[in-house]
Chain A
């Protein structure tokens, strides 16, 4: 580990770059999508193993099976117990198949809920790492209640008394991402995306043509800077020069600083205050138009993200 001071300078430098950077243009947006799914990008376990001095992974939802697309367990983070949960992708063909491309089924969300329940009972913070093209679309998943598993995971995250932080580390698409996304603080890595559906899915549905993914990405503008503007995320976490895939160590160090700060801030609040703020945070998302009086509930921020 490099010392903290150097890391701090680096964070400021990258943050400045993000702040001053121009609005991503159309070509740039597609590059962002590609970068968010870069095969060498650090995945959930890459971060967990660097953030925690020790990590005990748990398996199985205690109802049906273990879902390898979802990783959940307890870690020692800055000498505190913290629950870590996140979708896990694979790097080579075998591992990709084993991890089901990071697409969790109902068992994955039920495993996540099981770990959240323990964390809540034992009073440890919950950190989720989001990296999925979406929840698994399959007949078996539907039969076992994919929709209900996601909605209950959302409900469980909202009901937790302990501090919660969600981090979009790569691809955050559809309800499969939001199932882990209802937290006190939502962070997003500079080159990650967070969207209602994957560009491929959108192009098949809206353009009725699977080859229009690029157009879809340009229409959704799912970048970290935009999500910050809309109020969907609370901070943009900078990545090493060139992207997180160039230096896993440094990417984890920068995330560590943002994560530890967020947890420290949240730890100072009472559970009731946290839940009230969590409710308000999600309640105000979504701009409306009142035909009689211009914009009704405008949300979002005008300025791009600070460091």
Chain B
């Protein structure tokens, strides 16, 4: 050919590389320019801006080549984040070019940029229709391009317009066109589900196409569609099953498995047929991705029953081998699947504790973080401490893992950076596994106290400040729930308070600490020092801590000044004035709640200090009686989360009826006059409550279990050392716990009403408080105590039932898989506003069985058709009823004339059974049609 004309270098080049050459040079220039101007961002930006303005000019030029060139460059620049939607009309022009090459560029640009612009989509519709006209073999590529482009440009009207064309293309002789048509139909179905409903069989027939790629496309499309609405495809399952059994292409098998996953979710009947086949597939296949998908299918398709240990083990064994593989991807995905299986029944994975522990030390932090989610499933009493130890050890910035290199014995140290996110996850995990099921796995609360202390220290440096709340919450929970551990927990809390660093960096932990301090301040002897300490620190505290702190201070003060009779009134006075001066500024706090509470306390304390001035003998009644009565009326018990809210909803307040009738009121008033100040303490009512509730304390001692006592693991945290460390801590701590005699003497100072309560309640406390010092303790109690200490099995109070407890979820609740999902949903609107999800496939199904109209006719006016159908049905039932009444009438007539009541009854029965039969058949008809149409 070259002889026909003198070829220039350019021409030769063009023929050598017959594509892209047209604009190659200038695109090349652009790319080269970008590379040349790479040194500084400013330079690059300057260059890009220049290139962009060039493109702008070129795109406006009447020369099509230049325009195409510009569009291509813009498409490239789009990758650099430049918006090209302004060029949409130019793109449209290029798309409409008759030259394939330009068309291709146009469609490429369109798919990158169009979906933003609904106006341009309208214009594109006509073009698409034209391009989709398939006129001959030469058009294959053109149609192919158009079909590919369709998926980005499709709109509901366009979908409705072209679906007929596409269905004709399904019968094309070329597999390529069939395949492209199927893929394009996918988008059409999403926009225009009626098309699928009306041509379901035609489409499903493509599953049996001769060409594998067509089958693959059909399976894929059905798979994707079934994700949105699986119902209509269930009837295809025999056919799909057939394909699954016969086909050997792994790509298609995976698609089919996915499809079956979707179907099985809504049709449980599939399980008995599919499950054996899938298990067989798992045995026979060599491809890991197929294996993975099989297990996925079993798990996600609800094929794994809660008690089906056989299948679960088969799956888990495979995963186990995956986990041992050297491929980190396999380890990762099997971790994820492990989690899902564990979610079905935790018992399935409980035996894999060794594996999980190994995964916790994986080289890859992302695998570790997946393994953390598994911990909940494997944790039990025996390995809890071990697991926590493993986790705590990882709180370093750089971990080192020894890895075997090659087949030799040589190992290499691989440093691993531990990201903060992972540390936060670890803190949460530790807290979760220790506290789950009301501390079911935890039997050594002293150890847990140490762990919480460690966590408090570690959490300071982490950015997630809510960790402080969680740790504090744990301290508070064991304080309330584990009465026998209160003194130890108290030391931990005081330790936390003492640590200036924690105060500084993690004030969120203090909220619950202060609450506990206040609530259980009877454990503290020198409350005045504690109050002083708090004053030194108070500059750190945010408002929400301050809210808790104010009443807590009051509680501490109350317990402190009533601790013994021989308290120095002068000391009380000074503390009192300290408190007053502390509350003073808080009365002007910006936080409303703080202000209110401060004012309340302030006023009371002012009264108290006035009383102090007047009363030189001992403490005034305000401090000895009234102040404790604020807080000590009854013991607080744990309630489950949300109970308070539920209670609120249960309470109906009657604001109408007066508390007392006129006469009663008069009587009370009279009485009051007689009694004077005897009626001052109205908590008698509450006291009744107390005495009954206090009895729970006796449950503290579980029957000791000797066997457990002996099985202390040696490898666990060195308990011995821990013990001694803690003891030392306690001794050095100025807030040593108050002593037995204090309590008794205190009781004696109380009013009669109170001593009754006190005597009843703190028996258990007394003993525990004086662990090391008190010699007068009676022998049996001591025995009990020592046993308890060995075994570390402590009674944990469960939540009080106040209102009906909500049913607790039985399986893993875990920190639900890192919050995925959600966000992307709302955004997708322009490009793919699919109507399929909500589309009711059953709607028009009534029609064919009744009137037998052809598919073609129904296609157009489904709305009218529906109405017609409804009418028709209505008529039919009416007719039926008419028949019935007619029949009945006849019967009646007969009975009247001939027989007595008895026989008439019989006949009625007969007729009524007929009637019900008829009704059945009426109900049946649409169902039958259901199967036939779709």
Q: Are A and B genuine complex partners?
A: no
Name B residues whose Cβ lies closer than 8 Å to a Cβ of A: none
